[in-house]
Structure 1
Amino acid sequence: MPAKAERMASLPHSLPPFGVGRLKAAALFDISPSLFDRLVENGQLPQPRLLGGRLVWDVVELGEAWRSVPHRREDLDALSTNGNPWDE
């Protein structure tokens, strides 16, 4: 078993991780890593923390950011997704 998988397997399932890397952070929002990067850059999503030379996003902060995203309004239903496969 790879070391990372072994570390995660050692945590009880009732204890979620405090922080996640970029790919997992993007996956939490079901968006591409590049869109995640843009949302972090423009301030819509939180900045990462630097831990041991690695960028790690606080899971609680990501959850707070998610809850601050407004719900889609009916008047937006007709807008095109501009061919963005992540929005389909």
Structure 2
Amino acid sequence: MKSELGDVVRKGVRVNSVNTLPRFDGGTPLHKFAVCRKEAAALLDISPATFDEWVRRGWMPRGVKIGGLRRWDTAEVRASWLNLMEQNMDVKEDDGENPFDYAVG
């Protein structure tokens, strides 16, 4: 059923056609706190295969399996990302002279 705003209403939850996050009837968007593998990868702007590799290496959480579904807590994914960033900040980025420093442009 469509509301007067053009949103689709299903079981008392409004889904905005522009913002695909579910909304309560009051219009407040619901933010996802548990996501599937594909969505967890999308949060990091990486492919699901890369996400799987990062999970295998222990860089990302393994997720929680409930019934036949595995979900990742978005807070844990973010915390793992921040941890990776912090670890990589300790690595000296400058590995020597830049070969383009003397290029004529």
TM-score category by the smaller chain? 0.5 to 0.7
Deviation per CA, 1:4-59: give whole Å up to 9, x if none.
xx5x423532x411200011100111111101000001111001101231010011
Residue 53 of structure 1 aligns with an amino acid whose one-letter code is G
Is 2:76 aligned against 1:57?
no
Structure 1 gap ranges (5+): 79-88
Identity of aligned residues (%): 35
Rg (Cα) greater in structure: 2
Residue 61 of structure 1 aligns with an amino acid whose one-letter code is E
Higher relative contact order (CA 8 A, sep 6+): 1
Aligned equivalents of 1:28, 1:73: Cα separation in 2: 27
Indicate the residue corresponding to 1:74 in structure 2.
93
**Which structure's residues are more often helix, by fraction?**
1
Instruction: After the TM superposition, list the runs of 4 or more consecutive aligned residues in structure 1 that deviate by more than 3 angstroms.
Output: none
Please give the TM-score of this superposition, normalised by the length of structure 2.
0.58
Indicate the residue corresponding to 2:103 in structure 1.
none
Indicate the residue corresponding to 1:31 in structure 2.
46
**CA 1:16–1:73 in structure 2 vs 1: closer, same or farther (change >3 Å)?**
farther
Report the count of equivalent residues.
Answer: 75
- 1:73 deviates by 4.5
> Residue 94 of structure 2 aligns to a residue in which SS?
helix
C-alpha RMSD over aligned residues: 3.0
